[in-house]
Structure 1
């Protein structure tokens, strides 16, 4: 990887990390505050609405953004044709969601979801104007501009949600936040990356590029159907309030993942695309990335799972206490979910959309079988199904990437073992400490966070000090 590319990626890491720290300090507080204000039925309504939204969003405008990033040179005529595709797809998605909203809400016996779906359908008409500028900025590694978009959207979105919640708008608060986020991205993306667009239809030229996008889009749609199976099936089996409790547990458990994964994709996809011709470089940087983020993900998620009950009672009140067990179960497997996202991004950058498709089908099948098998456990069964699906899917994915990058089983084990050992020591220490010392409220959370960080850092240093040197290197860059 050239020094220029290294500097661009490291600069991107710095800007996105700084932006995320600012955003998360505000967003996490606002998320927990909104959860306190709303009730399980409000989150249940939004969870039901998001079933169809997430599946349609997964089509992702046939991954035209990834097509723009991956191909070094695209003519003006083809670029305009890709924009025309985006517009047509946006209109189609709007019509599908708007028209089907009534039938969908009736099927799930959640009439409130109808108008929520019809309002949020407008987002597809807006988002199609974001695909081109966001892709061009990512392609040019202009992460500072992307960070600005995230910063503004990350502040205005929760602010709008809070105001709506203060006005007792219930589930509409969440829908309004969604729309504000979409509109802010529209104005910011097109302001920071201005380019003239026109409607053209040179489809024969564009179709040569679309195979990659169609396969990616199909993979994304299958993966999202898989990711939504818990709500698709759970929405039929359980009450709207029970689904709301499950949704909040899922939302809190997934907070670190949903904040890290998109930024990792944004940084790693264009970077790996630039070195995709050199499989040795890809292997070296993939190994370093998996090792580094294993050391970040395992302690964060396992620590979150350990203190989940106190987080619920301290931060979002006892009315959500049933969500704690959902968080605890999910956090055992979520580190692997993050590593799965990184690995799929590398396969995408290598042009192996066939393997991405394969590894979208497998998790869906495993999750479906697991949900059916554990449905008798209620919403806890949904969380257990997720853990089984994530773990088995990651093992299947590793077997594929091992062949492509020529990685040995021993080397793959070493990439994960350090983080797992250090996180286990941290977990057992905190478990013992909480048995001996009784603490409550914010003091419990702070002291557990400090002790966990110290024990994890010490054990990591004793096993291999390379991780600390790596973090120091990143901070200097």
Structure 2
């Protein structure tokens, strides 16, 4: 038990360190890429990513997660899983290739057809990437995975910047993302030092297929949930407005999109190893929940408070319309993150249907709210997340705590201190910004409010919730 937690802690350290290096570099480069592209370019990219993400979610068929939970894993079983993955991916590649023209016609964007056909190439590499990635995760070998991710991200970011500077527009992001997928597939396989060949007879894979099908359905609906606003808004908003909303949403969820895979990919194997010890997995989960929420709430609420200065300084005046949508969406991100923390625990405990139930309800609620809000523009769309996010968070909380036997009240009590302290910090910084107006240079105002926010949050937490403050100070990776 202690060995598992020790290996998990080491894996998390390596993954976090290399992921931070990767994200700092890619975030820095992406800010320059945005300056070379137009809102219209991001409107096209948003639609392409939505279609591709839905298809790629099906590509793994949840079989990678089944490999991690398999008690007796032999070479033949691995080859059978690879054979299934290849069949799924070839089917998806053909479907995307031949449906590309219809999708382009639906969105009245002729460029989409060729772009979707090019991105279908990713399906040829996906089976080996999925297989190798999850076999490395099973061994808790996240250090090697993180090195490959870092290398691929750096090369992909530089490729995107070079192509954007050369005037390639939306193609710069499309081709860079494709290159990253290919590099990861090759890198994971090389690190594993074993090139498996597929087996095309599938006896004995029934349980894995059933488990994977549930996770695939959940993942597909989750991807649809993450992109439902773009799919709906594409019918109501002009391409320029859609691009503004897409960039605001992308920037708001970028830290979440990068952090959650890090947490989940390390937490899932750990929970799977201790899933039969109810008291231990509950203790570990609650500790992780407290630590992540005490840092995530001030981060995102602080970003929302300084968004105006940051956007105008970094992205320029042409993205001014993205400021309010960005602020509104940022306020919802900590609850999204808190909801997603249950995902690896539910999978490890053998309740993959929990995610399916939760995401189905979330998708339905969000689709209705977005459909009602979209005709009124990007600001109302962004504000609609303030309504839907607390609803699907509370639903997920009730569902997951009941199945994991973790008290509902324990999670609410853990959530309250950082939420209250962060909200107070946000209000005070926004008030300061209103009072200062244009009297202070924008760069200096940004620096002042960042320092002020950190001091305010720590002070409020120390005065009102000293135990949480002390626990956060003692946190060690």
TM-score, normalised to structure 2, is: 0.96
Note the alpha carbon deviations across 1:348-380, whole angstroms, 9 max, x for none: 111101211101100110011101222332122
Q: 1:57 — aligned with what?
A: 56
Distance 1:466 1:162 in 2: 46
Counterparts in 2 of 1:468 and 1:188: CA distance versus 1, 3 Å: farther
Q: 1:253 — aligned with what?
A: 252
Distance 1:98 1:422 in 2: 50
Preserved CA contact (<8 Å) 1:133 1:194: no
SS for the counterpart of 2:248 is helix
Q: 1:115 — aligned with what?
A: 114
Distance 2:14 2:470 in 1: 20
Counterparts in 2 of 1:190 and 1:95: CA distance versus 1, 3 Å: same
After TM superposition, give the deviation of residue 246 of structure 1 in Å.
Answer: 0.8
Distance 1:335 1:419 in 2: 10
Distance 2:462 2:15 in 1: 27
Note the alpha carbon deviations across 1:141-164, whole angstroms, 9 max, x for none: 112112211211221111110000
Q: 1:43 — aligned with what?
A: 42
Residues 1:451 and 2:452 aligned together: yes
Counterparts in 2 of 1:137 and 1:295: CA distance versus 1, 3 Å: same
After TM superposition, give the deviation of residue 334 of structure 1 in Å.
Answer: 0.9
SS for the counterpart of 1:82 is helix
Q: Which runs of 5+ in 2 are unaligned?
A: none
Preserved CA contact (<8 Å) 2:59 2:127: no
Preserved CA contact (<8 Å) 1:367 1:388: no
Residues 1:353 and 2:352 aligned together: yes
Q: 1:83 — aligned with what?
A: 82
Distance 2:62 2:396 in 1: 21
After TM superposition, give the deviation of residue 470 of structure 1 in Å.
Answer: 4.2
SS for the counterpart of 2:234 is helix
Distance 2:252 2:68 in 1: 31
After TM superposition, give the deviation of residue 118 of structure 1 in Å.
Answer: 1.0
Preserved CA contact (<8 Å) 2:305 2:426: yes
Note the alpha carbon deviations across 1:43-92, whole angstroms, 9 max, x for none: 11111112211211222421111011112322222210100011111111
SS for the counterpart of 1:321 is helix
Distance 1:387 1:18 in 2: 33
Preserved CA contact (<8 Å) 2:237 2:374: no
SS for the counterpart of 1:57 is helix
Residues 1:171 and 2:162 aligned together: no
Preserved CA contact (<8 Å) 2:397 2:408: no
Counterparts in 2 of 1:238 and 1:384: CA distance versus 1, 3 Å: same
Distance 2:374 2:150 in 1: 40
Q: 1:73 — aligned with what?
A: 72
Residues 1:133 and 2:132 aligned together: yes
Distance 1:41 1:181 in 2: 24
Count, aligned residues: 475
After TM superposition, give the deviation of residue 468 of structure 1 in Å.
Answer: 5.0
Distance 2:198 2:127 in 1: 13
Residues 1:214 and 2:209 aligned together: no
Distance 1:67 1:148 in 2: 24
Counterparts in 2 of 1:199 and 1:13: CA distance versus 1, 3 Å: closer
Which segment is superposed worse, 192-201 or 353-362?
192-201
Which segment is superposed worse, 378-387 or 389-398?
378-387
Distance 2:145 2:469 in 1: 28
After TM superposition, give the deviation of residue 387 of structure 1 in Å.
Answer: 3.2
Q: 1:276 — aligned with what?
A: 275
Distance 2:219 2:469 in 1: 35
Q: 1:205 — aligned with what?
A: 204
Counterparts in 2 of 1:263 and 1:434: CA distance versus 1, 3 Å: same
After TM superposition, give the deviation of residue 463 of structure 1 in Å.
Answer: 3.3
Alignment of 1:423-442 (within 5 A): 423-437=422-436, 438-442=439-443
Q: 1:340 — aligned with what?
A: 339
Distance 1:434 1:378 in 2: 26
CA RMSD of aligned residues (A): 1.6
Distance 1:375 1:435 in 2: 29
Preserved CA contact (<8 Å) 1:326 1:380: yes
Q: 2:185 — aligned with what?
A: 186
Q: 1:21 — aligned with what?
A: 20
Q: 1:10 — aligned with what?
A: 9
Q: 1:406 — aligned with what?
A: 405
Distance 1:256 1:467 in 2: 23
Distance 2:265 2:215 in 1: 16
Q: Which runs of 5+ in 1 are unaligned?
A: none
After TM superposition, give the deviation of residue 338 of structure 1 in Å.
Answer: 0.8
After TM superposition, give the deviation of residue 267 of structure 1 in Å.
Answer: 0.9
Preserved CA contact (<8 Å) 1:49 1:113: yes
Preserved CA contact (<8 Å) 2:152 2:184: yes
After TM superposition, give the deviation of residue 467 of structure 1 in Å.
Answer: 4.3
Which segment is superposed worse, 21-30 or 271-280?
21-30
Distance 1:389 1:162 in 2: 36
Q: 1:152 — aligned with what?
A: 151
Q: 1:306 — aligned with what?
A: 305
